[in-house]
Structure 1
């Protein structure tokens, strides 16, 4: 926001209400997405992992940040500096320091949650090694960020109280350098899954969908760049409480966008379930609609387990029983058509009545019948049996 309009400043101008509305709205959106994630993975999939608890902690710090901005706005953030009572500066700047702390904590936890999710889904050895390296980098840079926050000024009170003489305060260049390193790391983190997705054997449309899902994280990088540019332009101005309104908006958007992007990657099974439910109402839904699995990329295909879900096992048995019924029906039809096929030759019927052991099996005397036996009486030929192996093997 610009405080200069033809040299005249309207001291009644205020964006306090806008800041409060942005703080509430952005957090509610991220809370809704995280709530959907916890419902899906906790209630439907029974598969809550470390990444889910970490994103929940990130949501908590995002809430703390939103409360911090609301407190800042109540003391004058969003108004012109000349319109803010002098006694409001100290509590407003103190709330600003806590807001910065919660901002950094929430962003760091969101990145850690994304990396933990990648470690669960991207199971190639080389990707896991790279992800572990990124995880170390994120933890180290986050720790450095926290140290810089707690040592912003020495003593720390000098950050918000101008009457306290500061022996040292970090320069803005230090924060710019750290922010640039974090943006570069974020870009590489969100770029990593894309070549993995396009290397797997899957339909092209499925690869495109996965690429779009994984690419949501690039929006965080864009928001971070916009915010740091606005911050660099606003620092040093004489009306920072008013000029920095846009920075506050983007800070709230950045933190909550990171939470949403980290969570939206996990919601694809929920979308599939909702879509399957709507399809079931209209045209009928396949059995897979009620069964949600967590997909992984790079895992080796496993043999069907004897502990396969009862629904899957029943489906396989039903197919085999259907083949059995069809084969028996074919045999019965063959027996009824006595004019075409004789199970026993007429001239040997009397001998067969005297001793069944003296009569060789009819396939030895009827090559045509032998062909039918290999198909009908055996029910499943060796080749078919090998192809039809199911979960009970």
Structure 2
């Protein structure tokens, strides 16, 4: 009798509402941040650069990831696996496959946007920073292609979608851990790139601390990436995949949207100056194309 009651209680449990709520709210926040970024770049500074367009692409992919995760939720993710029919589970695995690919593409494009943004900020004053960002951009682009290939043939979810692939697909845990580990390493490297150059700038201590703070927002994304890594192993060994996969997917959404918001926050100083502080940005159109540190902190002297 007690076993039957426990079974009924477990069957009634659901993480679906929380999954849908987070999958909608975080992309909405990112969309707002990117919209403010584009407004600032187009209507205040007069020019939209390649890094802005890349963050738009990343936003589209992040929204696509959330849509795929919502589809997973409608097909059983967030409930216990024994309550999900085989047909629903198959459809969920297809949506999971789509979310894995869009998540990783978005993740890499966010990194590429950061690197182009750094080139605009530091390129004219630091040839070293410009070269580092230039070559690392191509490394991330090549890694994105390799990563897409590896993840597309990992056993989860490929073997569940196409059972005959079970003996031909790649072991999921090593592929996912290698992919996530390299993502974390590249995240830390990318977010650390501007810090030495900010340290060498000639400016007031208060301004330097503010610039450091702005560029350090990205490390919050690194923390999310590390937390997400913890859930990777759980998903690859669990017998209740539809229940235990929820946390991993939600941290994935958090990571993407955190990166998009952090990248956009660095561009909003002219908007804040105009509408909150009542100041008029002094950047000309040509100056905005250079995207110097004066867009982050006015009256900055770069040395």
The TM-score range, normalised by the shorter chain, is 0.7 to 0.9
Query: What is the TM-score normalised by the length of structure 1?
Result: 0.68
Assess, with a 3 A threshold, how the Cα gap between structure 1 residues 81 and 191 changes in structure 2: closer, same or farther. Answer: same
The number of residues matched between the two structures is 281
Query: What secondary structure does 2:21 align onto?
Result: helix
> Does 265-274 or 53-62 show the bigger shift?
265-274
Taking the TM superposition and a 5 Å limit, the aligned residue runs for 1:91-240 are 91-123=91-123, 124-152=126-154, 158-161=158-161, 163-171=163-171, 172-240=173-241
Q: Deviations over 1:43-95 (max 9, x none)?
A: 22111000011100001111111110111000000000011122211110011
Query: Which runs of structure 2 are paired with 1:40-59 in the superposition (5 Å)?
Result: 40-59=40-59
TM-score, scaled to structure 2? 0.87
Q: Which residues of 2 match residues 183-332 of structure 1 at below 5 A?
A: 183-277=184-278, 289=280, 291-292=282-283, 294=288, 295-297=291-293
Give the distance between the partners of 1:158 and 1:125, measured in 2 at CA: 45
Question: 1:180 deviation in Å?
Answer: 1.2
For residues 186-225 of structure 1, give each alpha carbon's deviation from its aligned partner in whole angstroms, at most 9, with x where no partner exists.
Answer: 1011111111112111011111111011001111111111
C-alpha displacement of 1:178: 2.7
In structure 1, the partner of 2:73 is: 73
1:29 aligns with 29
Asked if structure 2 preserves the Cα contact closer than 8 Å seen for 1:94 and 1:160, the reply is no
Q: How many angstroms does 1:133 deviate by?
A: 2.2
| Unpaired stretches in structure 1, ≥5 consecutive residues | 1-5, 278-287, 299-393
Structure 2, unmatched stretches of 5+, are 295-303
Shift of 1:259: 0.8
Residue 132 of structure 1: how far off its partner (Å): 1.4
2-structure distance, mates of 1:81, 1:175: 22
Question: 3-state DSSP class of the match of 1:169?
Answer: coil
The answer to which structure, 1 or 2, has the higher relative contact order (CA under 8 A, 6+ apart) is 2
Deviations 1:237-281 (A, max 9, x none): 11111122211210110111111111111112211222322xxxx
Q: Which runs of 4+ in 1 moved over 6 A?
A: none
Report matched runs for 1:352-391 at 5 Å.
none
Distance of 2:115 and 2:158 partners within structure 1: 37
Larger radius of gyration: 1
Match of 2:18 in 1: 18
Distance 1:175 1:10, change over 3 A: closer
CA RMSD of aligned residues (A): 2.1
Moved more, 289-298 or 114-123: 289-298
| Greater fraction helix | 2
CA distance in 1, matches of 2:137, 2:82: 45
Shift of 1:38: 0.5
CA contact 2:11–2:80 (8 Å) conserved in 1:
yes
